[in-house]
Structure 1
Amino acid sequence: MSRNSFGTTRKLKSGNWQVRYLHPHAPYRPDGTPNQISGGSYRTKTEAENRRLQLWQQVRTGEWKSPQQIKAEREAAEHSAALEARAFGPYASDWLTSRRLTPATRAGYEANLRVHLQPQWENIPIRDITTPAVRAWLAELAPSRPGARKKAFELFRTILNSAMDDEIIAVNPCKRNMLNTVAAATSKDVPDKRKRIPRALTMEQLKKAADTVPAYMRLMVLLSGIVGLRAGEVRALRGEHLIDAGAHGLFLRVEQGYTGQGTRLEKGAPKTDKSMRDVPVPPALADDIRQAAETAGPDGLLFPGIAGPDHVLPLSTYQNALRRLKKYPAIGYLTPHDLRHTASSLMQANGVSQQVVRDILGHTKTVMTQIYTHTQPEQFHAAVTAVSTAYDGIPAPVASLDQRRASNG
């Protein structure tokens, strides 16, 4: 045992060395016995001595904290981090579930959340909602529908008042007189943001997007952008769904999908009967897909969330990773659904028939595949080049006699 003016070190039966010292501010318990604190155990005596001296220095400089204080600070930090990340959508759903409401009132609130609040705020952390952002939203809310505008704002403000009561935020960004001070929009002033037109990426943009999202999503983005899996389908794939068809290559059996998230996450059959299908694995991705299946095992998810191999990747996490690509001009704003449009467009641009594309995407009608197909920039260029080539092939007109005399002076 080693001892000096502060603390001791002693060898334990395990062979490790333990640091012990008296509580600097309360060295004795009420019963008069020494109030000893453990400074941890270490593999060698030198490590233990170094820790003892470090604790002594912390006491001398006033930086020492008791184990109870360290634990309390850690728990407070974890609690604060959880509050910091609490998004409006899940909070609003929990809020609505906990309320005693008549069926009619509950239905009205659910409709208001779905139509007016969730499209704008669902994935936004509550602490990131600012008064200027609320003003901007209110300026475009429910054009030419003052009643709907008022109900949506009041519901938003009520939910955020509850967030204040739950100590998630200190101040409600929805100010009391905001509804009257922010000018209401008319229908012709504001386009309907819910009618965003899906887009398709070029192959170069798809590769750039896959290389830019978090590494564990890269293969999922590439697969979705090439064969057009829905977000719920690709997140439900497991090792057992990989089929080796020998000379015909690898296939992924799509027979289930996830809807909802959090406490409302549900697994069920795909969207339609046609959606239950075997999707060919692109040869360029075959080795990566095979490796993912071997890692996952038959029952494991091919593309799990970062919380663990059995954790379903939250849809909001996937959506947010794609939305953040808007800061890269070469890629732009992207959604999981855009990847299906990308797959349809890339396949048809490379000569795949509409019927085959329809079956790979799991569409019931070819007309749906046509809606999902966009003209690629290369096709635009090829079309214009063809016309330009035809123009270049037209012989120059023969000059008239008067024009030749004028050119000769």
Structure 2
Amino acid sequence: MSVTKRVLPSGTVTWRAKVFFEGRVIVQRSFSRRVDAKRWEADQLARLDAGSWIDPARGRMTFAALAEEWQASRGHLAVRSQETTRFLLDKYVIPEIGGFPISGISAADVERVMSALTARGLATATRRRALSMIRLVFDYAIRDRRLSVNVARMVSLPRGGTKREPRWLRPEQLGRLVMAMPELCRPVVLFLGLTGCRFSEMAALRVDDVVQTPHGLDVRVHRAATQSKRTSGAVFGPTKTHQTRTVPVPAALDAYVRTRVAGSAPGSYLFPSPTGGVWTNTNFRARSRWMDATKAAGVEGTTIHDLRHTAASLLIAAGADVKAVQVILGHSTATMTMDLYGHLFSEATWQAMERLPAIPLLAATPGMESVPGGPLGIGM
């Protein structure tokens, strides 16, 4: 029986209710009345059947301990991603709520964490990332039946600008930037600006990744050399989407790639640093004198990542369809490609505007008389 009678040495009668799951007792509790014990047992069993049961004892663990478990479960992710969450936890979240039992943390507690981040002057993107991470930690607890509600999802994401608007270079601007670079850095900039590969993917390419096809040379992109925030060195791992793709070598780099493959030992980097090693974002910016080069090319303010946007815009201008752009850039879905660059694929908005009927105006609008086409620039 799951509800049993017990007589204490004092003579008091209690009723012990036990809940079994997969052949073991997962929770038990004593009551002074049998009817209360049966009611509690029925409630626990109903929660089990509905999948909403939680272990109250495990809800007493601290947020810091839970976050440590969650962090350990993310070993399959890229090192850079793990380092980012580790930094956010240790720097901003653990000091605020790390000692709280997870079952006792409220939405108000999470809001106080976000208020503290705002008071420290952190950017909107950083605050959004911190809240998203707290949500994921609580999601982990729910999956493990330690919590039934994710209070962090009751807190709205901070509003404000979170991203710099994508910027891309025109062909002549990309050409000027390439020529403003030291000779060793030119193939890197040209490759990034024409293929849209991520910098970490380019850095990890080796001569062994070059494949001859009936159409020409391709490179197999299947790893990334991400720069560690902790050591500043390169850490090798999978691509951002954990997928392998094949990217055609642009005609402008065909001769360079063939020369590298013919004259390099197996395992050599396709785009080596001056020492023959792997580029990192930091040493490339220093060696290329990035700030000076962009200024000299007349594209001051351009970032290395803008070369990825440049490749997307050039591919679309050349007539590439959504699927082709998605594959070349390595987006996880075509939807993501459309979200970022959809406005470049269609001229429908301009065509619709051009088809608007002419609006006759009876009187000129002050200040607009000189606009070609009549008042307000509309033909009459």
User: What TM-score comes out, normalization by structure 2 length?
Assistant: 0.48
State the structure with more CA Rg.
Answer: 1
Higher share in helix? 1
User: What TM-score comes out, normalization by structure 1 length?
Assistant: 0.44
